[in-house]
Amino acid sequence: MRDATDLIRALQAGEMSSHDLMTQTLARIDAVNPALNAIVGMRPVDDILTDAKAADATPPKGPLHGLPIAIKDLAEVKGIRSTFGSPIFADNIPTADCLMVQRIRAAGAIIIGKTNTPEFGLGSHSYNPVYGVTRNPYDRRVSAGGSSGGAAVALATGMLALADGSDMMGSLRNPAAWNNVYGFRPSYGLVPDDPVGDTFLHQLSTNGPMARSIRDLELLLQVIVVPDARLPHSTPAFTPLPNVTTLKGLTIGWIGDWGGYYPMEPEILQLCEDALEQMRGLGATVKPFMPPIAPEQLWHAWTTLRSWAIAAKQAPLYHNPETRDLLKPEMIWEIERGLAMSAIEVHEASLIRSTWFAAFASQPDVDIMALPSAQIFPFNADLHWPDTVMGRKMDSYHRWMEVVVPASLTGLPALNVPVGFGAGGLPMGMQLIGQRGSDARILQIGQVYHGATDWPRQRAVKIKA
């Protein structure tokens, strides 16, 4: 499977046409998607091929000219059914693109449809009542993760070479880990969102790129990060750093399971430690790291701010009796918690967030933190979520993904890198987490690791088209 950068080079050099690439892409989708359900809401094939022919007949519009892409079904795309995985929006066809999609389209990409996601993106398992369950290509009996599960599966199987995702609570990192690809959660503010509603308070979720290589992550990131002066947290544009061949001078702080706080399958820790040993071989210093804050505090702050943010956005659906009955229980739980919170409770949660941000920013011992990207391997796809991990009862639908909170709570950049496969043949990944604004450095580190490992190519999905 060729990555997006290679495909675009071939298109620009005239070695292949956009029409040929699109024909191959559609054939691949026809062959593998029915069993996996990753790409949904497909446009009519004739319309897609017409767009590909038009791309061949016009000068390049931008860096993605002629490349097929499907957009995660949490983003509105003009003229394409955009459901958010909810029956409430099952027939929603937007009349305009959201800001991110505007930029992808302006860069010349050809949008063919959507990628599947859980209802409103809640939960790290991509199933919904509109399109059903997305399954893992390494074992169709288990989950593809979420909420960017459709995007991750499309990449892992070669149905797409490049994909967008979004990440509130690991929604890029978890499915990337479970599908042996890369997913990058940028620093909050780097990728601007639509400047509508409140743009100051909620800093938990961001869009970001997914791919089979680091250079492809950088390619899409440069397209979607153009600063927007209407947004108060917007940051300068992203510029990649030069490629290097060593990690010499880098100190990685390995958190592991945070001294036993996170229940976690032991094999996951071993795979991550093996990857860290490879990074040592590339010149990095790796040492145990205990963050200077209690993880229980992070969880309390996270669940408070998350429920508050979800309620602020989705309360109108809850207050309308006609739509409330169509919301899944997890959404109702989040909204009811958020509506019941006082301003002081939210303030106290944000104080914890502030303390954690300052503590990591001021510590001198490590450059980046490393954590597993998930606490368990992919679970039975017929379940909604795992209620126990290593014999420990999970008290909410998302507690089993608590390991992603340290980055999400404070908007830190976090890159999932593949670290190999467990004895059961399922993939796993590890988070590399840096200071806010260190996005280019994190990706530079990822490129060195990718050059030495290239797990997406080493253990590509074996599905015949």
- Catalytic amino acids? 72, 147, 171
Q: Burial level of 264, CB count in 10 A (0-12/13-18/19+)?
A: buried
The whole-angstrom separation of Cα 192 and Cα 225 is: 6
Q: Which residue matches tokens 């809640």? A: 122
The whole-angstrom separation of Cα 273 and Cα 276 is: 5
The whole-angstrom separation of Cα 126 and Cα 159 is: 17
Grouping H, G, I as helix, E, B as strand and the rest as coil, residue 309 is helix
H or E segment and range at residue 453: helix 439-453
Count CA atoms within 13 Å of residue 45 on its CB side.
Answer: 8
Q: What is the CA radius of gyration of the chain?
A: 21
Among 103, 101, 179, which residue's Cα sits nearest to residue 140?
A: 179
Query: Which residues are registered as beta bridge partners of 427?
Result: 421
Say if residues 169 and 401 touch (Cβ distance below 8 Å): yes
Grouping H, G, I as helix, E, B as strand and the rest as coil, residue 108 is coil
Query: Which residues are registered as beta bridge partners of 162?
Result: 211
Say which DSSP state 135 is in.
Answer: E
The packing angle between helices 45-56 and 18-36, to 10°, is 150
- Cα–Cα distances in angstroms (integers) from residue 268 to residues 84, 272, 372, in the given order: 31, 6, 7
Say if residues 98 and 75 touch (Cβ distance below 8 Å): yes
Phi and psi dihedrals of 391, rounded to 5? 80, 0
- Cα–Cα distances in angstroms (integers) from residue 407 to residues 104, 184, 380, 432, in the given order: 26, 12, 27, 10
In the chain, helix, strand, coil percent, each to 5?
Answer: 40, 15, 45
